[in-house]
Amino acid sequence: MMSHNLALYIFTIMLFFMFLIASLGFLNMMFNNFIPWSHNSSMPLVTAKAKIISKRFRTFQDNQTFGDMLPSYNYSTLYYITFQLEDGEELEFSVTAVEYEELQEGQQGKINYQGNRFLGFEVEIEKE
């Protein structure tokens, strides 16, 4: 009878520590996402004339294997566009796949951003 109570006690402690570790991991994730969001939100909204000078993307693979099952391959792609402002400063922003496809190198227009958060780019229509 005594060993049954000891096993239950050990199981309860292990369960508590697993919950504690999961909770700390969740709080860490929330905190690490909040800091950049808060920093960007405190920055001024900027609109400036700019030119797209380069585009790049990065694709990476996440392999997962569960026991004897076939591996699962998950691919993710991040898209980046570099803008040059009128004063020569270069800024690179992470953009969506749609923005990456729509915007082309050499296009000029007005960029809108806040901190390191890209808000949009209005392409200037060339006058003939």
With cut-offs at 50, 70 and 90, classify the pLDDT of residue 85: very high
17 and 50 belong to one structural domain: no
Structure tokens, 52: 């797209």
Question: In the prediction, which pLDDT does 60 show?
Answer: 85
49 and 22 belong to one structural domain: no
Residues 100-111 have pLDDT tens digits of 999 999 999 999
Report if residue 82 sits inside a domain: yes
Q: What angle do CA 66, 70, 71 make, to 5 degrees?
A: 70
Instruction: Provide the domain count of the chain.
Output: 2
Residues 50-70 have pLDDT tens digits of 999 999 999 988 766 666 666
Domain hosting 100: range is 44-123
74 and 90 belong to one structural domain: yes
Of 1 and 42, the structure prediction assigns the larger pLDDT to 42
> Mean pLDDT for the chain?
86
- pLDDT at 93 > cutoff 60: yes
- pLDDT at 94 > cutoff 60: yes
Report whether 113 contacts 128 (CB < 8 A): no
Report if residue 106 sits inside a domain: yes
| Phi, psi torsion values for 31, nearest 5 degrees | -65, -45
